[in-house]
Chain A
Amino acid sequence: MAKRTLSEKLAILSDAAKYDASCASSGGERRDSRDGKGLGSSGGSGICHAYAPDGRCISLLKILMTNFCIYDCAYCINRASSRVERARFSVEEVVHLTVEFYRRNYIEGLFLSSGIIRSPDDTMADMVRIARKLRQEEGFRGYIHLKTIPDASQELIDEAGKYADRLSINIEMPTETSLKELAPEKNAVGIRKSMADVRLRREESRTGKSWRGKRPARFAPAGQSTQVIVGADTANDRTILTQSSDLYASYGLSRVYYSAFSPIPDPARALPLKPAPLKREHRLYQADWLLRFYDFGVEEIGGTSGMLDLDVDPKTAWALEHREFFPVDVNRAPREALLRVPGFGTKTVGRLLAARRRGLVRYEHLKAMGAVMKNAQPFIVAGGWSPRGMLETEHLRARFAPPPEQMALF
């Protein structure tokens, strides 16, 4: 095989990495290079440096170290039996790309993942070598996200956590059965155990206090995350969200990413040919937010079928099914009730509670506070506003759902 150029390798290995949704570069340790001795800064909110026409942001240099892989997971483009072109970066090449892209302000840092070559330990060791070289030789203080390899040894994970801001391991499937079916070499228990390890390490590393009085973790300071592929198996949304809420609760994950299964070139036969609707992915994220920031329980989301309504967002769907809960009086209701109002976000509710101390909150104030009144109208009582019969009308749902479409005749 002829030697590939850096550009060819980059094309192959970033193409192979694009099915990972995560691009977060926020949180983590505050670092900068004001001292003139290093390069980069991180901490605070991340920055999206570009957007691709698929609507996803580009914040990190997201690449695979190699797309050679000894595993054969059906949904993965890099599985052993796939006929994609293969390539492999050297440690120096990854470091060079990261630093040069960073210096030109293209990226916030590096998100490095890899196919598994030889053994999990060999692969993880190479990835750790890249992170170490960036931190120690290049003085790189930007963001590093390392994908940990299932079944890699504890010492390697420990070292990875020292250099990386975030560690992640993909849980891939909503249930153990489908993981076994589609990714026979991976095992759910091993994945969960390695999440548990990362949580323990993070807790052990919390010594000393930050200026805010929090105890920051030195180990993977930006936490850990994971990804679930949606629509490659038959699991319903509630199953997926139940798994997510378990993961958030058990391992303190920063994020669970949902990736709508999209057909990959050279697919395995075990997979559906049709992509999952992107809308479904969007609704899952909305529901995920409800679980984390709006005090919703998993059992409250998704109605009887266990699937999220694709036409209406999950919060509105809940409101439409629980009309007895409304209208909510914005001047009297507690925080929890305000959070249930469609069109009110956490910021709006915070502003609303502050404004209540100053006097009666009127309908027109709410818009200035950032509420989406079109959605909130039927569900609230405010100074100068009452929904009257709006809540009882049968057509309430039609206000929110997209207009019905004529089916194609031919």
Chain B
Amino acid sequence: MREVVLPRVGTVAAWRREARALAQDGVPAEAVLWSRGEGAQDLFAGARPVAAPREARRLSLPKAAIQTIETALCHSDPERFARAYRLILRLSAREVMWGDRADRDVRTLLEQAKAVGRDIHKMHAFVRFREVEGEGERRAFAAWFEHDHPCLERGAPFFAKRFGDMDWVIATPDLTARFTDGTLRFEETKAPERPPEDATEELWRTYYASIFNPARVMVKAMCAEMPRKYWKNLPEAELIPSLIDGAEARVRAMAEAQPAMVPDRRALALRDHAARVLAKPGADGPVAALAADLQGCTRCDLCRHATQVVPGEGPKEAALMIVGEQPGDHEDLKGRPFVGPAGQVFDRAAALAGVERSAAFVTNAVKHFKFLARGRRRIHQRPDAGEVEACRWWLDLERELVKPRVILAMGATAAEALTGSGKHIARRRGRAELLEDGTEMLLTWHPSYILRLQDKAAQARAEAELVSDLALARSLSEAGR
């Protein structure tokens, strides 16, 4: 039996030398006892032939095999030297084909080479340098790394290629690699040297925490690629538990914050448009300027049938805005709001309530007349939700421009345009509602509804209610003046 003790530094090269010599001597695989480590300084001390040499063997191996075998020799399995020697003898004797995974030695060796390859890859990934005091002009860095397999010698040349302009040390429990002035040396590690903290690590942790997306937590995927055993030497790893714990709360906070903060594009564009009108009001003031913008509106199909658009009218400083449904037959012809029969009802009620019409801003939810042509008559049609939505743009612009204290909505359509719902007018009227932007809104009957009522008593009651709502709107708009 021959005993071969390989040195800790230069293990693979020593194995290659020994294996070649043993094969030359014709020593069979089972007659060698391989080990690595103690007493390795005196290389050839115990290497006296014990059994009589058999026939000398010439080694001939495929090129790919040599690379892979040398990688596999960096595995931690104590059997690796014997297996590799056995395999090269068998390969040379053509007892087995290289790459034949059906053979157990080949398969184990390929698997071990893969494991070592992975370990080296992880070393390239997870070594973390810390800057230390340098001796010469070159900056100096040091790292402590713990690997599964003694593969530093195979993995370190990568760092020499990458960090050619600095001096560095990588210490592992097994060996230490020192790169000084362009030369790479290895030595046995005497005591673990962990370099002190580095200020840049704090920046790195900041980056690590910020690049993490809490909306997609996949801890399993992370641990598969960055197993926990490496964490203790990674400066960023200490953040992981808190990042995972906090993720759910952050996502929830994101979801809850959504309704409150929607600076949607429409609102922005609206503010833009209003600002433009205010900036260049023209000769007749901003209200007229907005009315001019309104002329060309084709936001819905109503413009194709109506005579003209009917913009709101009133002073820009009005504290009270009154919103009706849409222009009627007369309004469409004259181009002014509330001038037909319904307008007369409105004027009468306003006078009773003490509302000065010229001081309020009077407008409609929809600015074009919608009708059904029947012979020589135009029959009023209620605007549908799409038309109300399309025209809300202009109503919102008027609100943006006038910024009234109180809005009086007359009828379901106006309520729909302002609050999104035109239901339950009877129940909602007479009480103030708060709009999204904080403006107070009152709901009341539409004057044409009063006109349509057949029952005289009901008509009188509704008209009285309209008057009282108008009066309430007036007093609210004057409050705090």
Question: Which chain A residues have a beta carbon within 8 Å of chain B's beta carbons?
Answer: 6-7, 10-12, 14-15, 17-19, 32-41, 47-58, 61-62, 72, 74, 81-83, 97, 100-101, 103-106, 139, 260, 262-270, 273, 275, 278, 351, 354-355, 358, 364-365, 368-369
Contact = CB atoms under 8 A, between A and B. Distances in A.
Interface stretch (B257-265, B354-362, B422-430): B257-265
Given A7-B202, A50-B236, A266-B261, A33 B163 contact: yes
B216 A61 contact: no
22 contacts: A10-B206, A19-B213, A33-B162, A34-B161, A36-B182, A38-B164, A41-B158, A53-B240, A53-B247, A54-B214, A54-B218, A81-B263, A101-B207, A103-B129, A104-B201, A105-B127, A105-B159, A262-B213, A263-B254, A267-B262, A268-B265, A269-B266
Interface of B: 97, 99-102, 107, 121, 124-131, 139, 141, 143, 158-166, 182, 198, 200-204, 206-222, 225-226, 234, 236, 240, 243-244, 247, 251, 254-255, 257-258, 261-266, 268
A39 B240 contact: no
A33 B258 contact: no
A364 B124 CA distance: 35
Nearest to A14: B210
Nearest to A104: B129
Given A7-B206, A263-B255, A269 B102 contact: no
Contacts of B198: 104
A37 B217 contact: no
A34 B216 CA distance: 40
B168 to A, nearest CB: 9
Contacts of A354: 99
Contacts of A17: 211
Nearest to A58: B211
A42 B244 CA distance: 33
B254 A37 contact: no
B257 A55 contact: no
Given A62-B211, A103-B141, A265-B257, A33 B164 contact: yes
Contacts of B160: 34
Given A81-B265, A106-B128, A52 B200 contact: no
B180 to A, nearest CB: 11
B212 A263 contact: no
B456 to A, nearest CB: 49
B233 to A, nearest CB: 12
Contacts of A38: 164-165
Contacts of A103: 129, 131, 139, 141, 163, 166
A61 B212 CA distance: 13
Contacts of B141: 103-104
Contacts of A264: 254
Contacts of B97: 358
A36 to B, nearest CB: 5
Given A262-B215, A355-B100, A369-B101, A36 B165 contact: yes
Contacts of B218: 53-55, 278
A21 to B, nearest CB: 10
B175 to A, nearest CB: 18
Contacts of A57: 225
A275 B215 contact: yes
Given A106-B128, A263-B254, A83 B263 contact: yes
Nearest to A35: B164
Nearest to B223: A51
In this complex, the member of A18, A61, A74 whose beta carbon has the largest number of chain B beta carbons within 10 angstroms is A18
The 3 A-B pairs at the shortest CB distance, nearest first, are namely A55-B218, A55-B221, A33-B164
B135 to A, nearest CB: 16
Contacts of A106: 128, 204
A60 B85 CA distance: 42
Contacts of B139: 103
